[in-house]
Chain A
Amino acid sequence: MNLERLPNEEKLTLCRKYYLGGFALLPFLWLVNVVWFFKEAFLKPPFTEQTQIKTYVKRSALGLLFWVTVLTTWITIYQHFRAQWGEVGDYLSFTIPLGTP
């Protein structure tokens, strides 16, 4: 799939679909959206749909940032306090490392 070959309206619809899709707990999709459409939105000479693509890219980036902070905080909390939480920690764990923490 090469963006170059698509007409601008299709680029816009694709960007929008990726943006909307990211709301289904898919920050990775937002990341792909940002990276893929970055050149189109910011580095190209302006075309009609560019402002809209820009907004989508910006919003995807915001959403991505939000998810990254949430996940990082959760992971830090989890890794730090897992051993102290006793049963709850074990219940949450997918794999439990061996040895003493």
Chain B
Amino acid sequence: MVVVVATIKSVMLYEIYTPFPEETDTVAQRAVNSILNATIMITVIIVMTLVLVLLYKYRCYKVIQGWLFLSSLLLLFFFSFIYLQEVFKTYNVAMDYFTLAIVVWNFGVVGMICIHWKGPLRLQQAYLIMISALMALVFIKYLPEWTAWLILAVISVYDLLAVLCPKGPLRILVETAQERNEPIFPALIYSSTMVWLVNMADTDRPKRNSAESPAPSSPSQDDGGFTSSWVSQQEHRLGQLQSTEETRREIQQMPSSRPPVEEDDEERGVKLGLGDFIFYSMLVGKASATASGDWNTTLACFVAILIGLCLTLLLLAIFRKALPALPISIFFGLVFYFATDNLVRPFMDELALHQFYV
């Protein structure tokens, strides 16, 4: 949540620097353009996901790991560099190369260590959140407006299909991972430590005494934004931003039946794909950047996403299989955004105008 708020705050900064390039003559043309843009992005995502599934199926683990490594490298160094530049410009602060180099170097290297090797869990979570937020910011900044909304909607639908249909690539990935009893790559998932003893998936995890308060522990909540998504994104960054479905897939792949062998805090908690974070943040970020209703709309979207997430987790606890995390939240978020923007705000304005307090 803090992440999303931080994203919002930073997005407010971006407002000054984001010219929306999507200016066309007629509404119809704009609509067509955005549909085309969205289609291109979705196609890229689908292709990347299929590539990832194939790589996974044929056990080309090294390739996948190298890919994830490079993408997280790019994200941690390059994007944070650009982000810092924007922040400093906004606050009109001077910064010298020496300090900047030290800061970016430290941030990046410790991030790589935490995500890909061993590090404290809290720090790893913080880093994953930060890179998701960065990715969302990049999306918000560089995607034209209608395209972004369309992409959000289409991705949710695609997510639903990819995970639940028997032929969906994500489903295949999940099942393959389950068969092989392997954990998904750590760089793609966010795992909380909240454990709920009751609902552990089929394996017998006897003594996990987690002092944590009960939280739905859905061992696998798939699809988040896996890093693959942004991995691919990074690759095509300059061309089109594509969120890689793959990361999402990977996340989705986190099956609930974790290998019963080790008891690890991380295996017990809820696992959410990083792609999910990215798209949630993107929704709220866009809401805050472009809404005419300012905080009202932003808060409404925020609440909508949280409600959607709770519902999804509930469903996860009931069904105990990999579920797409995006559709419900994004759907609620979009509905709330457009409704609030167009209905609630004029209402509030009128009320304030007539000094009528409800």
Contacts and interface: CB of A to CB of B under 8 A. Distances in A.
Tell me whether A and B are bound partners: yes
A61 B110 CA distance: 17
Q: Chain A interface: which size bin? A: 20 to 34
A25 B124 CA distance: 21
Nearest to A35: B120
Contacts of A16: none
Interface string B103-135: 001110110010000111101100000000000
B145 interface: no
A75 B123 CA distance: 26
Contacts of A96: 94
A25 B121 contact: no
B204 interface: no
A97 B110 contact: no
Given A2-B264, A32-B119, A94-B88, A27 B106 contact: yes
Most-contacted residue by chain B among A3, A32, A35, A82 (CB, 10 A): A32
A82 B94 contact: yes
B96 interface: yes
B-side interface mostly: helix
Contacts, number: 76
A97 B92 CA distance: 5
Contacts of B198: none
B27 to A, nearest CB: 38
A74 B121 contact: no
Contact of B96 (A21, A35, A93): A93
B99 interface: yes
Given A1-B124, A29-B110, A95 B99 contact: no
B121 A1 contact: yes
Nearest to B121: A1
25 contacts: A1-B119, A1-B124, A1-B266, A5-B264, A5-B265, A14-B118, A26-B106, A26-B110, A27-B106, A29-B106, A29-B113, A32-B119, A32-B123, A35-B120, A71-B99, A74-B98, A75-B99, A82-B94, A92-B97, A92-B98, A93-B96, A94-B85, A94-B96, A94-B100, A95-B95
Interface of A: 1-3, 5, 14, 21, 24-29, 32, 35-36, 71, 74-75, 78-79, 82, 92-99
